[in-house]
């Protein structure tokens, strides 16, 4: 395919290029090859310790996809219309979450959620503080209160709250709406990369209590190997894991449809219901599910790598450079204050860096990004508590965002 290259000159004298992607949105198989290549490079880089712990495998995968989108090799995931990206969001992500919860022991969850919930609530407060400070510092005109409300909503409970808060604040038809979406995706993704890097900063680790994980991710690294003494046993393991995960997600989708029809719900709770169903199964049939835990965990992590590769593909540097420098500053200030205050308060309250990073990623990215964050910090036991507090963000994020937005002058 011939690529059309356009050069754009900015007032600062800088040069940036845009191009029609070399791989078209409808070249599904070729695009899938690229996604899986970045996934495999990320996994191998962590196993082989290519970057001496400075970059986690998921960071390598996301950065590679950001680079490929920026130079025009692959299409962006930010604007839709790419079938393979849609498949990942619609099916790969929902299938991955139950696989990571096969060993969700409620006793451990209740012990862990208490601490993580406190860090998460501290993170929520610091997001609100950051948004209010940014509102008074950065001048964005008469709709600044709407931008503050939307950012607070999305950084309390993830991007699922963005559209709901924007609609309530009557921001959808604003000329600032499109650049705000672009900034939210760009800065949010880069911020998550920062969070993934936090557990690797030794100078930071020395200033916080160490986190002792109550679960083991298996020998030889963060990602356990598939178990089985024969190809037949391995085939049975993979088959059962895929069957159970598919059944749980299908049941969650069916219950979601029923609740929407019966109660008039306007939001999707499929992932919440699938999470609750998996946790219930893990505690009703713990010995049976334990047989499949390692296989489920490995498959779930692999699928999460694919999901994060697509998240990386949604990061568009050029949109930020051309459309929203003021909104970019607003967003950076909000998240900078959030993380800075959370680290200070977390150190005072004797929380570990990993707990702070998991809580913050639950705030900003929502529950879907919690599992790889917990694994990067070697804290498998924080996966289920992190998902649960992230789901709490779905519930409270929009309410907090619109409340603060309307309260601002």
The answer to whether 63 and 42 are in contact (CB under 8 A) is no
The answer to whether 132 and 339 are in contact (CB under 8 A) is no
List, in sequence order, the alpha helices (H) in 169-226: 177-197, 202-205
CB burial readout 338-364, b (16+ within 10 A) else e: bbebbbebbbeeebbbbbbbbbbbbbb
- Determine whether 211 is exposed, middle or buried from the number of CB atoms within 10 Å of its CB (0-12, 13-18, 19+): buried
pLDDT at residue number 407: 94
List, in sequence order, the alpha helices (H) in 71-214: 83-87, 93-99, 106-137, 144-157, 162-168, 177-197, 202-205
Residues counted in the chain:
409
CA dist., res. 65 & res. 76, Å (int): 9
pTM to 2 decimal places: 0.71
Is residue 17 classed as helix, strand or coil in its secondary structure? strand
Tokens of 251: 């049941």
Cβ-based neighbours of 19, under 8 Å, separated by 6 or more = 3, 4, 5, 6, 71, 72
pLDDT at residue number 205: 78
Closest CA to 302 of 90, 58, 63: 58
Mean pLDDT per block of 10 residues along the chain (409 residues) reads 35 48 92 96 87 75 89 84 90 87 70 82 96 93 92 85 80 78 80 87 81 55 49 85 94 90 77 82 87 88 88 72 78 96 93 93 86 84 85 81 90
The answer to whether 64 and 42 are in contact (CB under 8 A) is yes
pLDDT at residue number 5: 34
pLDDT at residue number 215: 57
CA dist., res. 42 & res. 73, Å (int): 18
């Amino acid at each position: 395919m011939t690529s059309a290259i356009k050069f754009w000159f900015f007032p600062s004298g800088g040069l940036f290029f845009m191009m029609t992607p070399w791989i078209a949105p409808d070249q599904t198989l070729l695009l899938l090859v690229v996604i899986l290549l970045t996934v495999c490079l990320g996994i191998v880089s962590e196993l082989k310790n290519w970057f001496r712990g400075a970059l986690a495998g998921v960071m390598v995968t996301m950065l590679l996809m950001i680079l490929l989108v920026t130079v025009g090799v692959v299409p962006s995931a930010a604007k839709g219309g790419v079938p393979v990206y849609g498949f990942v969001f619609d099916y790969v992500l929902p299938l991955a979450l139950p696989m990571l919860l096969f060993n969700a022991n409620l006793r451990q969850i209740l012990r862990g959620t208490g601490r993580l919930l406190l860090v998460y609530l501290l993170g929520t407060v610091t997001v609100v503080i950051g948004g209010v400070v940014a509102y008074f510092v950065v001048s964005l005109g008469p709709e600044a209160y709407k931008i503050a409300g939307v950012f607070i909503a999305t950084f309390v409970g993830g991007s699922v709250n963005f559209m709901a808060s924007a609609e309530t604040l009557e921001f959808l038809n604003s000329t600032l709406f499109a650049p705000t979406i672009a900034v939210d995706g760009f800065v949010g993704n880069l911020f998550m990369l920062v969070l993934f890097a936090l557990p690797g900063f030794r100078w930071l680790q020395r200033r916080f209590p160490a986190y002792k994980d109550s679960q083991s991710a298996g020998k030889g690294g963060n990602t356990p190997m598939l178990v089985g003494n024969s190809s037949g046993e391995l085939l049975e393991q993979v088959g059962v894991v895929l069957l159970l995960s598919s059944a749980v997600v299908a049941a969650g989708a069916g219950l979601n449809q029923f609740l929407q029809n019966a109660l008039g719900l306007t939001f999707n709770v499929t992932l919440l219901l699938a999470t609750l169903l998996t946790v219930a199964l893990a505690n009703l049939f713990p010995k049976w599910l334990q047989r499949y835990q390692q296989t489920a965990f490995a498959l779930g992590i692999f699928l999460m790598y694919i999901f994060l590769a697509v998240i990386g593909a949604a990061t568009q540097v050029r949109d930020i450079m051309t459309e929203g420098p003021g909104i970019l500053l607003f967003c950076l200030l909000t998240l900078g204050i959030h993380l800075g205050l959370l680290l200070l308060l977390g150190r005072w309250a004797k929380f570990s860096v990993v707990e702070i990073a998991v809580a913050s990623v639950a705030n900003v990215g929502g529950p879907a990004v919690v599992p790889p964050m917990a694994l990067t910090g070697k804290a498998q036991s924080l996966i289920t508590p992190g998902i649960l507090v992230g789901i709490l963000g779905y519930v409270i994020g929009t309410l907090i965002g619109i409340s603060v937005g309307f309260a601002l002058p």
